[in-house]
Each structure stands twice: as C-alpha cells, then as structure tokens.
Amino acid sequence: MPFEVKEVDRAFYNERLADFLPSRMIDIHTHVWVGRSGSQTRPDKDPKSALKRALQTRHHQRSQKWPSLVAADNPIEDLLRTYELMFPQQRVAPLIFGSAREDVIFDEDNGYVSQAARQHRLPSLMLSTPQWSAEELERRVQEGGFLGLKPYLSYAPAHIPADEIAIFDYLPHHHLRVADAHGWIVMLHIPRPARLKDPLNLEQMLYIEEHYPNVRLIIAHIGRAYCLEDIGNAFEVLGKTERILFDFSANTNAQVMKQLICTVGPKRVLFGSDLPILRMRMRRICENGAYINLVPPGLYGDVSGDPHMREVSEEEGKWLSFFMYEELYAFRRAAEATGLTASDVEDVFYNNAAQLIAAVQKGSPWSVS
C-alpha cells in the first residue's frame, strides 16, 4: 500500500472525526486507474504519436500538475484498502470513475473501471469525450454498466484556449440530451479561472437544470471554490436552483462549505474525496485568493515551480496528516456552524448518495455491508 498511517493520523481521526462520521459512508468522487503496460508501442514508432503529444500538451495547459505527485496509479484494491486504513470505524463504498490523465485511452481506462465496478459491485461513471456522437455515448455507457458521465475540460476541442473553455465545449448538448433521456448522473468539474463565480459557468449550470431536468448534475469540489474569493455572488444565483447537487471533494474551506449548506441545504450536499490525491499529507491555506497546499519537505519531489504547493519546515511537516482528514474536519466545522443534526450528517455522507444511485441504477444491486 502506497502510504503509512502514523500516530499523528490516528490522533487526528480519533480526536476530530471518529465521533462525527456515520458508520456507513459513500464516497461519490473517486478515481481508479492502472499504469500503462511496458508492452505498449513506443511513441516514436506509433503512427498516432503526434496526436498523443498534442493531447498531452493540451492536458498540461488545462490541468493542475500537483495531483500527479501523489499516486502514479490507483487500482481498485488500493482504493478499498485506503478506506480500511483511514476509516477503521466506518464502512465506505465508492462511486468510481477513471482519471483525466494526459495519456488517457478511453477504451482501456473506462474498461478497467467497468471491470472493477462489476467485480466489486460498485457504481461507476464513464469518462467521456465530446467527440463521441450521441449514439456512441449511449452505447458505451450501457455496455459498460455505467450510471452516467464524467466529462472533463481537458477534452474540449484543442483550438479553445484553456482559460476560455466553457462547460458545453466538453459536455455538449447532444450528450446532455442522452443523459437527460436516461436520467444519468453527470459529475462536472467546471472550467475557467474564476471558478464558481464565473458568470458563464453559472449561466450554463442554470441552463442544464432548466433544460435537462432529468440529468442528475453534481458540481464537483463545490465548483472549485477552494477560497472565499472564488464565490462572488454564486450562491445567490445558485439559491434559485432546485436539483443541482454539490460534492465537497478536495475542498478544505469550512466557510465555503458553510455557505453551500445555507444555500442548498444538506439534502443536496454529497461527501466526495477525489482519492487518491486525498492521501496527500498537507494542510491548505489561502493567500491573495489562491489556495496553497503546505506539504512536508521532500515528500513530493521538487514543488518549487508549482504555485499551489509549498514546503514547510521538517518540524511542521511531522504534524501534517492526510488531505482526507483535513477535508472532513472542515466539513465538521461547517456542519456545527450551520446546526446540522446527526441525521443531516448521515444524509450527506450516505443517504443522499444511496438514494441518487438507487434512482439511476439498473441491474445488479450494490451495498455497504
């Protein structure tokens, strides 16, 4: 297993989380994938190598680099073992999907997720690209046994500058029409530098709710609002919605979570982690409206060139625990500040996701037993 549970982690869990978390949990936002085999064609011999290089360049321009420092892969066995180590008093089931990596091969990555989901009786989503027709998308989802889609901004058409990508560039209307017809889940990582407060993002989120009412839309990471400066008037706008769901994966900002709860209530909030990056040892701060992950020195290589990463002293680094625990402790503070009951907390961590998945799922049942 690629990480160690230390005394600082056990103390964090026992003192701040164990009495707060319900006995059953569903993690609505997790990535699983395996590394490429050494038998693959060398890029210089591959006739499609130029396309691959273009895709990799585009991916680097459109995504953060630091998550790749935590795990080279995350097979399903590692994911399930992570829950056992991090949550000794809870039973956790994930909803799984692939990772939007620079070397993505959709057939292989989605194929692995589908196989893992069937083997372990877990719900799953399909990583999608806007290049697929409505018919191909429908076929792939149904054949793979997926409950919906995980589109990602990296797969928007290459000619669009990274800062100008819009939601419908990588979640096109013909995909939304199919998702609406089937009532699928769509897990959406929103684009654009302004994040949640971006007017176009908000406009298109509202459009999806109004025009595709059967799509079960989840806005990941609370719309990437990792700092208060990312909010703007977003919650005023989103207060008009009735169906959009939000997960708080990879978010450690209790004030943002508090505003979310006050806006949409606990029935539309879902626990998500974004594993495996939540295994990172870190503490997050905000400076000048930007988030910074404070990490132990040397643990993740040279991070000097990444504006979202900063090393602390050796002594401070010894006291850093898991990103997962920081996220959950932030939610606890938000829950207590907004007066959530134990029943509300159970909804956020289990019931909301269980009801969502049950409403979409057809075929073999799954359970957290």
Give the pLDDT band (50/70/90) at residue 149: very high
- pLDDT per position as a tens digit, 3-48: 899 999 999 999 999 999 999 999 999 999 998 653 333 233 333 4
**Total structural domains in the chain?**
1
Residue 65 pLDDT: 75
Choose between 55 and 212: higher pLDDT: 212
- pTM for the whole thing? 0.92
Does 30 map to a domain? Answer: yes
Does 367 map to a domain? Answer: no
Does 334 map to a domain? Answer: yes
Which residues contact residue 267 at a Cβ distance below 8 angstroms, ignoring those fewer than 6 apart? 347, 352
Does 312 map to a domain? Answer: no
Does 168 map to a domain? Answer: yes
pLDDT over 70, % of the chain: 90
Host domain of residue 68: 7-36+49-279+324-360
pLDDT over 90, % of the chain: 85
Question: CATH number for the domain including 71?
Answer: 3.20.20.140
Does 304 map to a domain? Answer: no
Residue 367 pLDDT: 57
First and final C-alpha spacing in the chain:
23
Which residues contact residue 210 at a Cβ distance below 8 angstroms, ignoring those fewer than 6 apart? none
Does 32 map to a domain? Answer: yes
Does 67 map to a domain? Answer: yes
- pLDDT per position as a tens digit, 353-368: 999 999 998 755 555 5
On whether the CB atoms of residues 150 and 125 are closer than 8 A, the answer is yes
7 burial (CB, 10 Å; 0-12 / 13-18 / 19+) is exposed
Residue 63 pLDDT: 64
304 burial (CB, 10 Å; 0-12 / 13-18 / 19+) is exposed
Compute CA 121 distance to the chain's CA centroid, rounded to the nearest angstrom: 20
